[in-house]
Amino acid sequence: MKKAPQTYCDSGIFDEGIGQVVIVRYKGGGRVEMGVFLVDVFCLGVKNAFFTRCDESEFGEYLRKLFPEGKPLDEHSGAWGRKLVEGAVEYARRIGFAPHRDYKQAARVMGGINPEDCEETFDFGHDGKPLFIAGPNDTSAQCDTIMKVLMRKLGKDGYHFIAPVSAFDGVKVEGEEF
């Protein structure tokens, strides 16, 4: 009997604002397909994504690589995962951010999964506004671009941000230098 699609997710995604979401589809012949998404629920939507396959016997090891020991992991239905990922993408698009270039390919694992089968609702943003948290690999140029989009779309008081000072070295938004 074929297993229903499942989602594996970082437990603290709505506390930390970002986390991995893995939507899994079990195929015949012991094969597994996965859409792997790095989801920023506070602002940017899908920051990274990829699609991959493996044998079901290798699947547990693959998950251990994606979610290192000690990092809490939640299991949900495939519908939960699709609703979360697509909701984050839609939230980010309204602000002006497109999903990662490989999103469409990774999202193919969601085909046939109905997000309406999930009754849970998700609140995106933080305290009613987008919250941009600069990541450790975000460059000054990336932060500059993101801040300009936020300022243009939402105005000076329409969002929050957190970043190390070095991420904003020389960044100018609407005449204000950080």
Q: Is residue 46 part of a domain?
A: yes
Spatial contact of 41 and 124, defined as CB atoms under 8 Å apart: yes
Distance CA 22, CA 31 (A): 16
Q: How many CA atoms does the CB half-sphere of 21 hold within 13 Å?
A: 35
pTM of the model: 0.89
Q: Is residue 122 part of a domain?
A: no
Residue 9: per-residue pLDDT: 96
| Residues 61, 137 within the same domain | no
Confidence of residue 159 (pLDDT cuts 50, 70, 90): very high
Give me the mean pLDDT over the 42-67 stretch: 93
pLDDT at residue 39 tops 80: yes
Spatial contact of 105 and 31, defined as CB atoms under 8 Å apart: no
| Residues 111, 163 within the same domain | no
- Tell me the per-residue pLDDT of 76-95, one tens digit each, with 9 for 90 and over: 999 999 999 999 999 999 99
Domain count, the chain: 2
Sign of the C-alpha dihedral computed for residues 117, 74, 112 and 95 taken in this order: positive
- Tell me the per-residue pLDDT of 96-129, one tens digit each, with 9 for 90 and over: 999 999 999 999 999 999 999 999 999 999 999 9
pLDDT at residue 172 tops 70: no
| Residues 16, 91 within the same domain | yes
- Find the domain containing 44 and state its range: 6-117
| Residues 30, 111 within the same domain | yes
| Residues 28, 86 within the same domain | yes
Which domain-ending residue is among 72, 90, 117?
A: 117
pLDDT at residue 175 tops 60: no
Confidence of residue 177 (pLDDT cuts 50, 70, 90): low
Distance CA 175, CA 178 (A): 10
CB-CB neighbours of 6 under 10 Å:
17
pLDDT at residue 139 tops 90: no
Q: Is residue 21 part of a domain?
A: yes
Q: Is residue 124 part of a domain?
A: no
Q: Is residue 123 part of a domain?
A: no
| Residues 135, 113 within the same domain | no
Question: What is the number of residues in the chain?
Answer: 178
| Residues 46, 86 within the same domain | yes
| Residues 136, 113 within the same domain | no
Pairing relationship of beta strands 31-40 and 18-26 according to DSSP bridges: antiparallel
